[in-house]
Amino acid sequence: MTLSTRPTLADLSGWVEDFPRAEVPELGTVRALPTDGADETGEGIVVVHLQHAPAAVYLQLDADSVWVATLTARSNDLTGTSLDLIGLGAEVSAAGQLCAYLQQRTEEAASALR
Protein backbone atom coordinates (compact mmCIF):
# COMPACT_ATOMS: atom_id res chain seq x y z
CA MET A 1 0.00 0.00 0.00
CA THR A 2 1.33 3.44 -0.87
CA LEU A 3 0.34 6.73 0.68
CA SER A 4 -1.64 7.66 -2.41
CA THR A 5 -3.55 4.38 -2.51
CA ARG A 6 -6.08 2.68 -0.35
CA PRO A 7 -5.73 -0.75 1.25
CA THR A 8 -6.02 -3.54 -1.28
CA LEU A 9 -8.38 -6.47 -0.97
CA ALA A 10 -5.37 -8.56 0.08
CA ASP A 11 -4.55 -6.03 2.83
CA LEU A 12 -8.13 -6.12 4.09
CA SER A 13 -8.34 -9.91 3.98
CA GLY A 14 -5.18 -10.15 6.06
CA TRP A 15 -6.37 -7.54 8.54
CA VAL A 16 -9.71 -9.31 8.96
CA GLU A 17 -7.85 -12.56 9.65
CA ASP A 18 -5.56 -10.81 12.13
CA PHE A 19 -8.44 -9.14 14.01
CA PRO A 20 -8.46 -10.54 17.56
CA ARG A 21 -11.83 -12.30 17.29
CA ALA A 22 -11.33 -14.10 20.61
CA GLU A 23 -11.69 -10.73 22.32
CA VAL A 24 -14.87 -9.98 20.34
CA PRO A 25 -16.89 -13.23 20.29
CA GLU A 26 -20.16 -11.51 19.33
CA LEU A 27 -18.90 -10.59 15.87
CA GLY A 28 -20.86 -12.30 13.08
CA THR A 29 -19.50 -13.58 9.80
CA VAL A 30 -16.89 -11.19 8.37
CA ARG A 31 -15.61 -11.08 4.79
CA ALA A 32 -13.44 -8.74 2.76
CA LEU A 33 -14.96 -8.29 -0.70
CA PRO A 34 -13.87 -6.38 -3.78
CA THR A 35 -15.63 -3.11 -4.45
CA ASP A 36 -17.76 -2.90 -7.58
CA GLY A 37 -15.55 -3.21 -10.62
CA ALA A 38 -12.40 -4.04 -8.62
CA ASP A 39 -10.44 -7.24 -8.99
CA GLU A 40 -8.44 -9.18 -6.40
CA THR A 41 -5.63 -6.59 -6.48
CA GLY A 42 -7.94 -3.58 -6.18
CA GLU A 43 -9.82 -1.97 -3.33
CA GLY A 44 -12.25 -3.75 -1.08
CA ILE A 45 -14.84 -3.38 1.62
CA VAL A 46 -15.48 -5.43 4.73
CA VAL A 47 -18.93 -6.91 5.31
CA VAL A 48 -20.18 -8.15 8.70
CA HIS A 49 -23.30 -10.33 8.46
CA LEU A 50 -25.25 -10.00 11.69
CA GLN A 51 -26.57 -13.04 13.52
CA HIS A 52 -29.31 -11.28 15.53
CA ALA A 53 -30.91 -9.41 12.64
CA PRO A 54 -31.36 -10.00 8.92
CA ALA A 55 -28.92 -7.21 8.10
CA ALA A 56 -25.27 -6.50 7.49
CA VAL A 57 -22.76 -3.79 8.35
CA TYR A 58 -20.55 -2.54 5.51
CA LEU A 59 -17.20 -1.07 6.55
CA GLN A 60 -15.40 1.07 4.00
CA LEU A 61 -12.76 3.75 3.76
CA ASP A 62 -14.18 7.15 2.82
CA ALA A 63 -12.52 9.87 0.74
CA ASP A 64 -10.78 11.25 3.85
CA SER A 65 -9.24 7.85 4.70
CA VAL A 66 -11.62 7.33 7.60
CA TRP A 67 -13.31 3.98 8.08
CA VAL A 68 -17.09 4.36 8.17
CA ALA A 69 -19.88 1.87 8.82
CA THR A 70 -23.21 1.48 7.04
CA LEU A 71 -25.98 -0.67 8.51
CA THR A 72 -28.15 -2.05 5.71
CA ALA A 73 -31.73 -0.88 5.53
CA ARG A 74 -34.63 -3.04 6.61
CA SER A 75 -37.97 -3.11 4.86
CA ASN A 76 -39.94 -4.10 7.97
CA ASP A 77 -39.84 -3.97 11.76
CA LEU A 78 -37.66 -6.32 13.76
CA THR A 79 -39.23 -7.69 16.94
CA GLY A 80 -37.32 -9.61 19.57
CA THR A 81 -36.82 -10.30 23.23
CA SER A 82 -34.54 -8.42 25.57
CA LEU A 83 -31.86 -11.04 24.91
CA ASP A 84 -32.24 -10.53 21.15
CA LEU A 85 -31.74 -6.80 21.62
CA ILE A 86 -28.72 -7.34 23.86
CA GLY A 87 -27.24 -9.72 21.27
CA LEU A 88 -27.83 -7.25 18.45
CA GLY A 89 -26.23 -4.46 20.47
CA ALA A 90 -23.20 -6.66 21.15
CA GLU A 91 -22.87 -7.43 17.44
CA VAL A 92 -23.08 -3.77 16.44
CA SER A 93 -20.51 -2.94 19.12
CA ALA A 94 -18.23 -5.69 17.80
CA ALA A 95 -18.55 -4.30 14.27
CA GLY A 96 -17.54 -0.91 15.68
CA GLN A 97 -14.46 -2.48 17.25
CA LEU A 98 -13.54 -4.04 13.90
CA CYS A 99 -14.02 -0.64 12.24
CA ALA A 100 -11.65 0.95 14.78
CA TYR A 101 -9.12 -1.87 14.18
CA LEU A 102 -9.22 -1.29 10.42
CA GLN A 103 -8.64 2.43 11.02
CA GLN A 104 -5.63 1.63 13.20
CA ARG A 105 -4.16 -0.74 10.60
CA THR A 106 -4.72 1.78 7.81
CA GLU A 107 -2.94 4.51 9.77
CA GLU A 108 -0.06 2.17 10.68
CA ALA A 109 0.38 1.19 7.02
CA ALA A 110 0.40 4.84 5.94
CA SER A 111 2.90 5.77 8.69
CA ALA A 112 5.24 2.96 7.67
CA LEU A 113 5.49 4.48 4.21
CA ARG A 114 6.35 8.00 5.36
pLDDT band at 40 (very low <50, low <70, confident <90, very high): low
Which pLDDT tens digit goes with each residue over 44-65? 999 999 998 889 999 999 989 9
Q: pTM of the entire structure?
A: 0.88
DSSP 6: P
Compute φ and ψ for 3, nearest 5 degrees: -60, -30
| Separation of alpha carbons 40 and 22, rounded Å | 28
More confident residue, 20 or 67: 67
Which pLDDT tens digit goes with each residue over 12-39? 999 999 998 878 878 889 999 998 765 6
The yes-or-no verdict on residue 2 having pLDDT over 50 is: no
DSSP 8: B
In this predicted structure, what is the pLDDT of residue 22? 79
In this predicted structure, what is the pLDDT of residue 86? 94
For the chain, the domains span 9-108
Centroid of chain to Cα 35: 13
